[in-house]
Amino acid sequence: MDLVLEGRLLINGELTQGCVGIDNGRISAVKKVLRGDRRIDVGYRIVMPAAMDPHVHFRQPGMTHKEDFHTGSLAALHGGVTTVLDMPNTNPPTDRPRNLMDKRRMVKGSSFVDYGLFVATSMPRRLEGMAPYAAGLKIFMGSTTGSLLDNDDGSIRQMINKAMELDLPVSVHAEDDSLITEGEASSLKEHLQQRPAEAEFNAVRRLAALRAAGVNVCHVTRSEVLDMTAAAGMSSEVSPHHLLLDTGCGLGSGGKVNPPLRQPQAREALFRAAAVGKATMLGSDHAPHHVDEKAEEFALAPSGVPGVETMMPLMMSAVKRGELPLGTLAEMACAAPARRFGVPKGAIEEGMLADLAVYDPRETETIDASRLHSKCGWSPYEGREAMFPRLVLMGGELQLSRGEVCGERIGRDIKDATF
C-alpha cells in the first residue's frame, strides 16, 4: 500500500476511527487497521472526502485582475475543495468551440485542483462541437455579470433537449429577466426589490412547465424553491452567502450579488431546509470582483462575492456549532456534485480517487481576508469563525499540509482525465 491515512473517518454520515489505504491515487481499502509503507496518523481529527464545488468563476480569460486558475485553484485547495466547475461568463465568453479550446489550452497546467469548464450557447450546433470537452451547459435566464442571456422558453427547451441528447448536465441561473427591473439601486434592500423572489419563483415554475427534469437550479435563495425543484425532478444548489448573509448584514455593495441576498427570515428558512437535506448540492458561486471595484458606490459596484476558500471552513464551523449535520454537509458538498458530474470522488469508498480533507475540530480561526488566496483581496465573511483543512490529498498526492500548500499544479480537466 502506497499510503495509509488513519483518523476519524466520515463514512455514510458517521465518524469511525479507521484507516484509508491508497494505491495509485485511489482508495484501495478502508479498514480498522491497515499496514502501509507511508503512514499519516491524524488521531482524533476528521478525515472526510474533499469537496467538489460545482460553481466558480475563475475569470480567465479577460478578467484576470479579479482571479485566474492559479490563484482560484490555490484558494480552492486551501478551502478543502479539489474539484471546481468554472462558469462561462468570461471575456470572451465560453460560447463556441474555438473559445472553449483556447480556454482549455490557456488553463492547462495552471491549476492545483481538478476542474471542468461550463459552456453557454443558444446554438445547438455549437453545443454539439463543445460537448466532448465541456463539463456542462449553463443557461442564464437573468442578466448578470457578462452578456450571456437566454430567457426564451422555446430556446431553453431546445437547448435542454440538445444537452440531454449529448449527455451534458445543465445548470440554470434561474431569475426571470422580465421580472427584474433596471435602474440604480443604492442599498441591498433596493437591489432585492429590483430582483424579487418572484423572479426566481417564476423562472423555476417555467422550467418545471418545460419538463426540465434533471436540470440543476443554481444558487437557490428560498426554501420554497427547494421544494419546487424537488417536485419537478430538478436538482438544486445553495450557496454559502444565501445561507449566511442577508439584507441585514450591513455589507453594502460588498453584499451585492445575483440572485440577491434575501431578508433574514428567508435566509434562516433556507438554512433550516438545507440542514435537513433539502438542497442537492452546495456551490460557492465564487464570483470574485476586486476589492476596489466592490468599494464603488452601490449602483456601480459589480455583483458577486468570493467564496470557494471559505465555503467548507464556514460550514464545518456551523457543523461544530451543531447547526448542520456533518453527514448532510458531506452529501451536498462532496458526494452529490461528484455523482452528478460523473467524477469518482466524494466518498471514502474503495475505488474512489483519494481526494481527502482533514479537519481539526479543536482548531478554528477567524477569517482574515489578507490571508486568503483569491486575487480579489476581500471576503464578506471577515471575522467569522471558520475551520480550515489541515491536510488535503488529491489523487493520493499531498497537496496541502499543516494548512499550507505543499503540492504542484497537477489539476486536470475532468474531461481529459481517465478517472
Which residue of 28, 60, 89, 280 would you call a contact of ligand NCD, by CB under 6 A?
Answer: 89
Q: Which does 156 bind (CB under 5 to 8 A by kind): ligand NCD, Zn ion, none?
A: none
10 binds ligand NCD (CB under 6 A): no
191 binds ligand NCD (CB under 6 A): no
Q: Which does 144 bind (CB under 5 to 8 A by kind): Zn ion, ligand NCD, none?
A: ligand NCD
Between 144 and 379, CB nearer to ligand NCD: 144
Between 176 and 285, CB nearer to Zn ion: 285
Fill in the per-residue mask, 388 to 417: x = in contact with ligand NCD (CB under 6 A), - = not in contact: ------------------------------
Q: Is 170 in a helix, a strand, or coil?
A: strand
Q: State in angstroms the smallest separation of the CB of 240 from ligand NCD.
A: 12
The 356-359 sheet, strands edge to edge: 26-31, 14-23, 3-11, 38-49, 356-359, 391-394, 397-401, 404-405
Q: Which does 303 bind (CB under 5 to 8 A by kind): ligand NCD, Zn ion, none?
A: ligand NCD
258 binds ligand NCD (CB under 6 A): yes
150 binds Zn ion (CB under 5 A): no
Between 161 and 178, CB nearer to ligand NCD: 178
Q: State in angstroms the smallest separation of the CB of 34 from Zn ion.
A: 41
Between 48 and 238, CB nearer to ligand NCD: 238
DSSP 218: -
Binders in 57-76 for ligand NCD, by CB under 6 A: 57
- For residues 393 and 82, what is the distance between their CA atoms, to the nearest angstrom? 8
Which residue of 285, 309, 331, 355 would you call a contact of ligand NCD, by CB under 6 A?
Answer: 285
Bridge-based pairing of strands 216-217 and 170-173 is parallel
Whose CA is closest to 67, among 78, 77, 56?
56
For residues 8-24, one letter each, b for 16 or more C-beta atoms within 10 angstroms of the residue's C-beta and e for the rest, the string is bbbbeeebeebbbbbee
- The 3 state secondary structure assigned to 230-241 is HHCCCEEEECHH
User: Do the Cβ atoms of 100 and 130 come closer than 8 Å?
Assistant: yes
Indicate which residue of 176, 246, 285, 355 is catalytic.
Answer: 285
Other Cβ atoms within 10 Å of 140 Cβ, number: 24
Between 118 and 359, CB nearer to ligand NCD: 118
Q: Which three cell numbers stand for residue 73?
A: 485553484
For residue 285, indicate whether it is catalytic. yes
Q: Is 157 in a helix, a strand, or coil?
A: helix
Chain centroid offset of residue 402 CA? 24
Other Cβ atoms within 10 Å of 108 Cβ, number: 14
Binders in 284-323 for Zn ion, by CB under 5 A: 285
340 binds ligand NCD (CB under 6 A): no
Between 285 and 360, CB nearer to Zn ion: 285
94 binds ligand NCD (CB under 6 A): no
Binders in 156-185 for ligand NCD, by CB under 6 A: 173
Task: Sort 31 into a burial class: Cβ within 10 Å, 0-12 / 13-18 / 19+.
Answer: exposed
Compute how many residues bind Zn ion; rule: CB under 5 A.
Answer: 1
Residue 119, strand partner residues: 137
145 binds ligand NCD (CB under 6 A): yes
Fill in the per-residue mask, 227 to 266: x = in contact with Zn ion (CB under 5 A), - = not in contact: ----------------------------------------
Q: State in angstroms the smallest separation of the CB of 69 from Zn ion.
A: 16
- For residues 77 and 82, what is the distance between their CA atoms, to the nearest angstrom? 6
The 216-217 sheet, strands edge to edge: 51-56, 81-86, 114-119, 136-140, 170-173, 216-217, 235-238, 281-282
- Name the residues annotated as catalytic: 285
Which positions touch Zn ion (CB under 5 A)? 285
Which positions touch ligand NCD (CB under 6 A)? 57, 89, 144-145, 173, 257-258, 285, 287, 303-304
